[in-house]
């Protein structure tokens, strides 16, 4: 399972909405699919990925072993997919989640690969 930390940067400092969940990566590793979104690598000011459909900037990284996933000095709760909690706890070496830091939700594994391929082909026709 490929777990990532995803944080919306557009319109926020370091306290935007954030998630920990399972992602799917393209063969090249330049596109990440998560929660019905596609993110392309981008060398922007705040984020390192951009949403292909909305142009919003995101910070996406692997989860941190020390549990400090928020980018820089940000705060706010992180939404974590219920299905990945056991794997996340194993990575950070803990037995339970700190509910001061997390909100547990069910995140659907929707990876819009075909929709994004069609969109990208449309852009260049």
The side-by-side arrangement of strands in the sheet containing 102-105 is 24-25, 31-34, 37-41, 49-51, 57-62, 3-8, 18-22, 78-81, 102-105
Q: Quick one: pLDDT at residue 34?
A: 96
Selection from 113, 80, 72 nearest residue 97 by Cα: 80
Per-residue pLDDT of the chain (125 residues; tens, 9 = 90+): 699 999 999 998 788 999 999 999 988 888 999 999 999 998 866 678 999 999 999 999 999 999 888 877 678 899 999 999 999 999 999 999 999 999 999 999 988 877 887 877 765 55
- Domain residue limits, the chain: 3-124
Q: Quick one: pLDDT at residue 75?
A: 82
């Amino acid at each position: 399972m490929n777990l990532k930390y995803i944080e919306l940067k557009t319109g926020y400092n370091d306290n935007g909405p954030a998630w920990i969940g399972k992602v799917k990566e393209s063969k090249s590793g330049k596109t990440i699919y998560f929660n019905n979104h596609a993110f392309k690598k981008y060398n922007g000011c705040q984020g390192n990925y951009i949403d292909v459909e909305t142009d919003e900037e995101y910070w996406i990284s692997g989860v941190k072993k020390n549990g400090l996933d928020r980018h820089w000095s940000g705060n706010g709760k992180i939404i974590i997919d219920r299905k990945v909690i056991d794997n996340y706890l194993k990575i950070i070496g803990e037995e339970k989640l700190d509910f001061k830091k997390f909100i547990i939700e069910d995140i659907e594994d929707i990876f819009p690969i075909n929709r994004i391929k069609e969109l990208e082909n449309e852009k260049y026709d």
